[in-house]
């Protein structure tokens, strides 16, 4: 294939990828977008395979078949509730693939046209080591995120003294090793870069708590893009550069949106430690437990909602854990059958990844026209008779607006307190992730429904029937 044709083919692939993301602007065009994404990938792979330097296809075919089979089986078998873990695991694979490509390029630079072993161009070495370093951080960081999301590691942040100093020292060694590599082409420097980056990835993500995972997953998404970019520069491959830049900025925007949803800066999230034992607010909260609360049963909740004219559902991570989305939709169908208007309100950081709640509700066949974002629905709580909070807590806490000493002060919240009655499904009185007491629990118009989200919703469904 002539060089011009190859160049155009990579351009076509890049355009396909841009259109694939563009398609996601609405659910209707999204599936066309995916088709274009697949097309772009096929174009990119075929174009490369027809390169004259590629003469042996056995390993390539085996690799694609083995990898494709694993990917297909995993993607078809995975439960939708395990989606955040799956995405984290996939990110780690992209990172690791970038590391392996960088290693291959370092030991066989002739294939990539960037010099000979032991004498690689300085610019290529920088690009290559950036790709490898970011890839390695993505790999190990995503592994930790995966462990935290899956629960094997426990969601609580792991903080030890001297953590930031250690990270700083490691980063300095990393930069020094890159300079060393560029000047000497030493193999050892290359391995040190990869080793330190892997350790850094672990250390960066370990101190971040479970509920900050939406930010972490978005950030790692972004890293995997930058890693691809680094490799793209090494290969002088425009398709790879464009795609890496798209993915990198996409992840960065998602991280920004998630941070804004919590009113925290990305640095605040990265420095970690949030959501363990928060000092001030918890101490105050301790005294609050004695206050009177009103708890009710499924029948009570069913009675209140049946007599309402408008109910707004606020789902949170608790719904995902209990897998209550199907029961919830059943409940809403019954309510709608009884003439009650039902809408869903989604906080940007509800769940463990961006858009987590939307996917779970879609899985339960909730029409997406009934699902609203925070800005769209927040004013409507005042016209709603019931706010039904299922497995969410901090995102409804009015302390975010009223109490400047609160850990969550300034976070945009869903204003459920404006609704006529607030129903909270919770397993216990325990405070939310942020360790902040929610004074909504003690209000007269609040009824607590203490149970597993799914069990409670099912009992409401029975009572409605």
Report CA 73 to chain centroid distance, whole Å.
22
C-alpha pair distances (Å), 67 with each of 49, 97, 258: 17, 12, 32
Among 204, 359, 419, 463, binds another protein (CB under 8 A): 359
Decide: is 44 part of the binding site for another protein (CB under 8 A).
yes
Annotated catalytic, 279?
no
User: Which one among 156, 167, 171, 250 touches another protein, defined by CB under 8 A?
Assistant: 250
Residue from 28, 300, 394, 437 carrying the catalytic annotation: 394
Could you tell me which of 414, 417, 408, 462 has the C-alpha nearest to residue 439? 417
In the set 224, 396, 421, 438, which binds another protein (CB under 8 A)?
A: 224
Which of residues 290 and 369 has its CB atom nearest to another protein in the complex?
369
433 binds another protein (CB under 8 A): no
DSSP string, 55-107: ---HHHHHHHHHHHHHHHHHHHH--GGGHHHHHHHHHHHHHHHHHHHHHHHHH
Do the beta carbons of residue 254 and residue 216 sit within 8 Å?
no
Buried b (16+ CB within 10 A) or exposed e, 40-51: bbebbeebbeee
Q: Work out whether 251 is an interface residue with another protein (CB under 8 A).
A: yes
Question: Could you give the CA distance from residue 459 to residue 307 in angstroms, rounded to a whole number?
Answer: 17
Determine which residue in the list 183, 265, 309, 365 makes contact with another protein, applying CB under 8 A.
Answer: 365
Q: Does 68 bind another protein (CB under 8 A)?
A: yes
Looking only at residues 257 through 286 of this chain, which bind another protein when binding is defined by CB under 8 A?
257
Cβ closer to another protein: 107 or 186?
107
The distance of closest approach from Cβ of residue 8 to another protein in the complex, given in angstroms and rounded to an integer, is: 9
For residue 176, CA distances in Å to 14, 231, 251, 320, 356 come to 34, 20, 28, 45, 40
Q: How many CB atoms lie within 10 A of CB 304?
A: 19
In the complex with another protein, the residue whose CB is nearer, 14 or 399, is 14
Binding to another protein (CB under 8 A): which residues in 289-348? 346, 348
Q: Which stretch binds another protein (CB under 8 A): 163-171, 267-275, 293-301, 366-374?
A: 366-374
Q: According to the binding rule CB under 8 A, does residue 234 interact with another protein? A: yes
227, exposed or middle or buried, with CB in 10 Å at 0-12, 13-18, 19+? buried
CA 210 – CA 151 distance, rounded (Å): 9
DSSP 318-380: HHHHHT-HHHHHHHHHHHHHTT-EEEEEE-TT-SSSTTHHHHHHHHTT--GGGEEEHHHHGGG
Q: Are 348 and 421 in contact (CB under 8 A)?
A: no
How buried is 16 (Cβ within 10 angstroms: 0-12 exposed, 13-18 middle, 19+ buried)? buried
SS3 (DSSP) at 388: strand
Which CB atom, from 99 or from 206, has the smaller least distance to another protein?
99
Q: Judge contact between 431 and 438, C-beta under 8 A.
A: yes
Q: Is 26 helix (H, G, I), strand (E, B) or coil?
A: coil
Site for another protein in 101-160 (CB under 8 A): 101, 103-105, 107-108, 111-114, 121-123
Give min distance, CB of 450 to another protein, in A.
Answer: 30
147, 355, 398, 420: residue in contact with another protein (rule CB under 8 A): 355
Separation between Cα atoms, residue 327 and residue 331, nearest integer Å: 6
Report the distance separating Cα 182 and Cα 175, nearest Å: 11
Q: Which of 119, 140, 228, 390 binds another protein (CB under 8 A)?
A: 228
Choice between 30 and 173, CB closer to another protein:
30
> Is residue 233 involved in binding another protein (CB under 8 A)?
yes
Residue 356 or 454 with smaller CB distance to another protein: 356
Residue span binding another protein (CB under 8 A) among the ranges 4-12, 275-283, 417-425, 438-446: 4-12
Interacting positions 11-40 with another protein (CB under 8 A) = 13-14, 17-18, 20-22, 24-28, 30-31, 33-34, 37-38, 40
Instruction: Select from 311, 340, 349, 353 the one that contacts another protein (CB under 8 A).
Output: 353
> Measured from the CB atom, is 325 or 421 closer to another protein?
325
> At closest approach, how far in Å is the CB of 154 from another protein?
24
Indicate which single residue of 85, 97, 209, 319 sits in contact with another protein (rule: CB under 8 A). 97
* Residues annotated catalytic, as ranges: 394
């Amino acid at each position: 294939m002539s060089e011009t044709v190859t160049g155009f083919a990579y351009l076509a692939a890049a355009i396909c990828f841009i259109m694939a993301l563009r398609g996601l602007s609405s659910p209707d065009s999204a599936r066309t977008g995916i088709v274009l994404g697949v097309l772009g990938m096929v174009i990119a792979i075929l174009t490369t395979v027809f390169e004259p330097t590629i003469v042996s296809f056995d390993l390539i075919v085996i690799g694609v078949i083995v990898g494709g089979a694993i990917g297909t089986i995993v993607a078809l078998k995975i439960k939708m509730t395990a989606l955040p873990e799956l995405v984290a695991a996939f990110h780690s694979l992209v990172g690791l693939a970038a590391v392996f490509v960088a290693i291959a390029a370092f030991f066989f630079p002739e294939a990539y046209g960037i010099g000979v072993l032991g004498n690689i161009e300085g610019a290529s070495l920088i690009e290559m080591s950036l790709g490898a370093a970011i890839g390695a951080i993505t790999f190990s960081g995503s592994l930790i995120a995966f462990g935290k999301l899956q629960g094997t590691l426990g969601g609580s942040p792991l903080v030890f003294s001297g953590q930031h100093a250690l990270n700083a020292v490691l980063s300095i060694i990393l930069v020094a090793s890159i300079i060393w590599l560029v000047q000497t082409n030493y193999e050892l420097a290359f391995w040190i870069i990869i080793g330190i980056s892997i350790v850094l990835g672990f250390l960066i993500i370990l101190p971040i708590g479970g509920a900050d995972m939406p930010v972490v997953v978005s950030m790692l998404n972004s890293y995997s893009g930058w890693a691809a970019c680094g490799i793209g520069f090494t290969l002088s491959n425009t398709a790879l550069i464009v795609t890496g830049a798209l993915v990198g900025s996409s992840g960065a925007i998602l991280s920004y949106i998630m941070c804004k949803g919590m009113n925290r800066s990305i640095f605040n999230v990265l420095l970690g430690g949030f959501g363990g034992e928060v000092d001030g607010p918890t101490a105050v909260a301790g005294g609050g437990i004695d206050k009177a609360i009103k708890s009710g049963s499924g029948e009570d909740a069913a009675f209140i909602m049946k007599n309402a004219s408008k109910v707004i559902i606020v789902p949170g991570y608790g719904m995902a854990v209990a897998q209550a989305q199907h029961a919830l939709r059943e409940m809403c169908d019954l309510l709608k059958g009884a003439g009650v208007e039902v809408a869903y309100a989604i906080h940007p950081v509800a769940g463990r990844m961006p858009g987590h709640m939307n996917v779970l509700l879609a899985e339960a066949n909730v029409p997406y026209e009934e699902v609203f974002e925070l800005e769209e629905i927040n004013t409507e709580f005042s016209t709603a008779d019931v706010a039904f909070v299922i497995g969410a807590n901090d995102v409804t806490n009015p302390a975010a607006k009223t109490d400047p000493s609160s850990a969550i002060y300034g976070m945009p919240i869903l204003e459920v307190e404006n609704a006529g009655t607030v129903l909270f499904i919770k397993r216990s009185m325990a405070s939310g992730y942020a360790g902040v007491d929610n004074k909504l629990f003690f209000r007269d118009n609040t009824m607590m429904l203490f149970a597993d989200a799914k069990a409670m919703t099912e009992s409401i469904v029975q009572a409605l029937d």
